[in-house]
Structure 1
Amino acid sequence: MSGQSNRATMRDVAALAGVSLKTVSRVVNDEAGVSPDVRERVAAAVQRLDYRPNLAASNLRRAGARTGLVGALVQDLSNSFSASLLRALEDAARKRGTAVLAASLDEESEREQELVHDLVTRRVDGLVIMPASDRQDYLVAELRTGTPAVFVDRPPRGVDADSVMIDNRAGGAIAAEHLLAQGHRRIAALSDMSTIYTASQRIAGFRSAYTARGLRPDPKLVVDGLRSTDQATEVVYELLSMANPPTAIFTARNILSTGVVRALAERGLRREIALVGFDDFPLADLLDPPLTVIRQDVARIGKTVAELLFARIDGDDASPRHVVTEPTLVVRGSGEIPPPTR
């Protein structure tokens, strides 16, 4: 990754199309007064040079100039993990006089590309991305021309760039092993869409804990594709209605933990069915019983992301770094409930 290459400018487009700067400006801003032939020549030059108009200023951006803005795209700004991550990034940015433009992706690939394009058009100095797309090849041109990007929570695919994430597989294994060690064998596992890297890795870890003991989980108790608290609640109702219901539950996302807690509370089973959730959240320690969780050190993750990003902005052109942090089991009570004696 190099920060030395310059992006194409409006002057480059004008030279290639053989027109004036004013004409290029009119075409880029979709103004009248330009013939179809000239408009086509300018459009062809824009595409060939991969030119991005600068909405942040009316004049050309000088090589090496900065806008004092960084873009951060997370899955859900309302989620406690994303909010804590952004706060850590914001704290680091403030010390540099840099502002953070943040938005939610909601697991929508097209939205990701649209927002990245919008941020790049505004000439942000760098990007932090929690990707929703399967591949990020669309960023090749931006990385090549010096826009640094740091991926968080999920690894980049199709490009090689800095990344910071937790060992999700290890976290899932720790959660399952903790419940297995209490004597549970019928453990339900609830997760997000299996196409999401974090969800698939956490469930893979869950399964590996069974395998390590020469066991296998009941496939009827492993449910994925859950996108909301309400969906998690409904699934728990269905699991509890089984002839042989689970004695423990592992949730691979904090909003799913909330749905499970609600279902167990409504059925009066909060102290009868064990629960371990992935990711902590506010007030989890004040539940009855307090929620045992697999915790990510979000502050450390956010700080590391900021360090990598601003180092790139300052000209660091070393090979991409891939940082993996370790999860921590926080024992509080809900995950230590033993299975019923039969």
Structure 2
Amino acid sequence: MRDVAREAGVALRTVSRVVNGESNVNAEMAGRVHSTIARLGYRPDERARQLRRGSSQTIGAALRGTGGMWEHTAEHTARAAGFMTLAASTEDDPALYAQVIESLCQRRVDGLMVEPIGAATPYLVAEVEAGLPVVAVDRPLEDVPADSVVSDNAGGIRAAVEHLLARGHREIAYIGDSERIYTGRLRAEAFRSCLQEAGLAVEDASVTTGEAGPEMVADALDRMRRCSAPPTALVTGNNVISWQVLRQLGPAIGELAVFCFDSLENAELLAHPVSTVNQDLEGLGRTAVDLLLARLAEPERERQHIILPVSLSIRASSEVPPPPRARRRRAHKAQAPSS
């Protein structure tokens, strides 16, 4: 910094003010300092700047996976506000989840975005009590008093089921994520409530939840086929399950009305275009950073839980009408194995 001051012909304090972004510097002097910095290749000591500022200008992010739309938007929103994002994947593993959060806190990030996986987080309570702003994204932190932003999970499922009911479907099935997960629980509960409000029975075979994977989906589809009145419509709880359903049903997907929660990439280009409930992923990322910045500016502000609306993309898959009851029962009887 002394070299910069000497070469630019200004006081050392002036260089310090320019480097730290202070506004009370003559424009002509600031220009000389900046050009000298560029010519000499000077780089400020970031650790010293953090000590003086009391801020690292970084936001930590503990994510279930990296590279998604909300994470991308959050990074750009943070950058526009002068913050860099330090992100790591927890891979839905409780031990790694704890390790990632503890590691980010040790790096003294100014705030933390967390995508909870359902595990308890007692180590995070102390950080929040010490003043670390934390925002939960996609699902709340149930054991930590933190701001949160989520999608309207129940509203999305309700809209999909009501659409299918309006098309005449009465035997509707649901395949969703484990109900130990906040989103999985809310979506399954909303599905059951919709059927009950419509005066329809909720049979065991009509609702399947569990760890998403090929085996779980195969078992769910098998139980659907064995029902006395096989479902004529299906709602899926997330895009992982939706893709498994599409793969396993193959061409038979056209015989069943299907509505998927979560956008599916190129869903409109499939041979049988799929209707989807779409989350506002950009809104999730943008709101998460906004909540963090607001908490940094006003630490004592009231906690906020923001629910973002979802939207529907209606395509051919949800427009398949239910077959006449008599024909459906005859078809099922013909498929039943002989004794």
TM-score (norm 2): 0.76
Rounded Cα–Cα distance in structure 2 between residues aligned with 1:274 and 1:231: 20
Rounded Cα–Cα distance in structure 1 between residues aligned with 2:215 and 2:247: 9
Contact in 2 for aligned 1:172/1:202 (Cα 8 Å): yes
Count residues in correspondence. 281
Q: Which aligned pairs between 1:1-342 and structure 2 lie closer than 5 A?
A: 62=51, 64-77=53-66, 83-228=68-213, 231-233=216-218, 235-237=220-222, 239-240=224-225, 244-265=229-250, 268-341=251-324, 342=327
Residue type at the aligned position of 2:209: D
Contact in 2 for aligned 1:237/1:263 (Cα 8 Å): no
Rounded Cα–Cα distance in structure 1 between residues aligned with 2:217 and 2:127: 39
Contact in 2 for aligned 1:185/1:217 (Cα 8 Å): no
CA change 1:178–1:239 in 2 (3 A) is same
* % identical equivalent positions: 34
Contact in 2 for aligned 1:69/1:101 (Cα 8 Å): yes
Residue type at the aligned position of 2:254: R
Rounded Cα–Cα distance in structure 1 between residues aligned with 2:112 and 2:52: 19
CA change 1:133–1:109 in 2 (3 A) is farther
Contact in 2 for aligned 1:175/1:206 (Cα 8 Å): no
Root mean square deviation of aligned Cα: 2.4
TM-score (norm 1): 0.75
CA change 1:153–1:180 in 2 (3 A) is same
Partner-residue secondary structure (3-state), 2:143: coil
The CA deviation at 1:136 is 3.2
CA change 1:94–1:58 in 2 (3 A) is closer
The CA deviation at 1:244 is 4.1
Q: Which has the higher helix share?
A: 2
Rounded Cα–Cα distance in structure 1 between residues aligned with 2:48 and 2:79: 26
The CA deviation at 1:61 is 6.1
Residue type at the aligned position of 2:161: A
Larger displacement relative to structure 2 (122-131 or 177-186): 177-186
Residue type at the aligned position of 2:244: G
Structure number with higher relative contact order (C-alpha < 8 Å, ≥ 6 residues apart): 1
Contact in 2 for aligned 1:188/1:249 (Cα 8 Å): yes
The CA deviation at 1:224 is 1.0
Contact in 2 for aligned 1:186/1:217 (Cα 8 Å): no
1:99-134 deviations in Å (ceiling 9; x for gaps): 222222233222221111000111111111111134
Partner-residue secondary structure (3-state), 1:271: helix
Unaligned runs of 5+ in 1: 1-55
Contact in 2 for aligned 1:233/1:262 (Cα 8 Å): no
Residue type at the aligned position of 1:277: C
Rounded Cα–Cα distance in structure 2 between residues aligned with 1:284 and 1:216: 31
Unaligned runs of 5+ in 2: 1-44, 328-339
Partner-residue secondary structure (3-state), 1:151: strand
Which residue is equivalent to 2:19? none
Residue type at the aligned position of 1:180: L
CA change 1:111–1:88 in 2 (3 A) is same
Larger displacement relative to structure 2 (175-184 or 192-201): 175-184
Rounded Cα–Cα distance in structure 2 between residues aligned with 1:239 and 1:102: 41
Over alpha carbons, which structure has the higher Rg? 2
Contact in 2 for aligned 1:84/1:299 (Cα 8 Å): yes
